[in-house]
Amino acid sequence: MGVSSEVKAVFLDRDGVLNKPVIVNGKPYPPKSLNELEILEGVKEGLEQLSELNLLLIVVTNQPDVARGLTTAKVVDEINNNLKQKLLIDDIFCCMHDNSDNCECRKPKPGLIFDAAKKWDIDLTSSFMIGDRWKDVEAGRRAGLKTILIEHQYKEKYDKPDFTCHNFLEAVNTIKSLV
């Protein structure tokens, strides 16, 4: 994970960035099954464009519903594997802990990003985080990434990201203008 690394990456949140979240009372939640999984418009095309720029595409996702007993690790793995089959994704790093576990991998802590950077020898200062929630922006900021928020008008606070976009392709175009 040295500064001399030439490997650049785009870190991607899963629900609300790659696939449609389930909105309940203005807050996003993951799909409960593979049947509910719906890839958002422009994602496949956008990932292909980023891949053509030789950027690694790494998903970093919180899935606390496993710790909360609302879903199983098997369901989360099925959804993640389905996304890897359908989309150009190099790797997926997943935290299945809840806030009370106080782990290092749950965003807004940057543990998943650091784990990926170590595995793939990624230069974090030349890489990006695309998320749809404040935890994604904060994790990206703590890891030294340029942060891009896809604004979905959720009912929650937001820290100011480096860039704000309205959809995935707009986020991709922002990255293309910077690399």
**Residue from 110, 104, 105 nearest 122 by CA:** 110
How many Cα neighbours within 13 Å face the side chain of 83? Answer: 33
Q: State yes or no: is 13 an active-site residue.
A: yes
Residues 6+ away with beta carbon under 8 Å from 68:
98
Contact of 97 with 67, CB cutoff 8 Å: yes
Q: State yes or no: is 115 an active-site residue.
A: no
- Residue 15 falls in which region: left (phi positive, over 0), alpha (psi -120 to 50) or beta: beta
Q: 143: which 2 tokens?
A: 């890891």
How many other CB atoms are found less than 10 A from the CB of residue 82?
A: 14
List active site positions: 13, 15
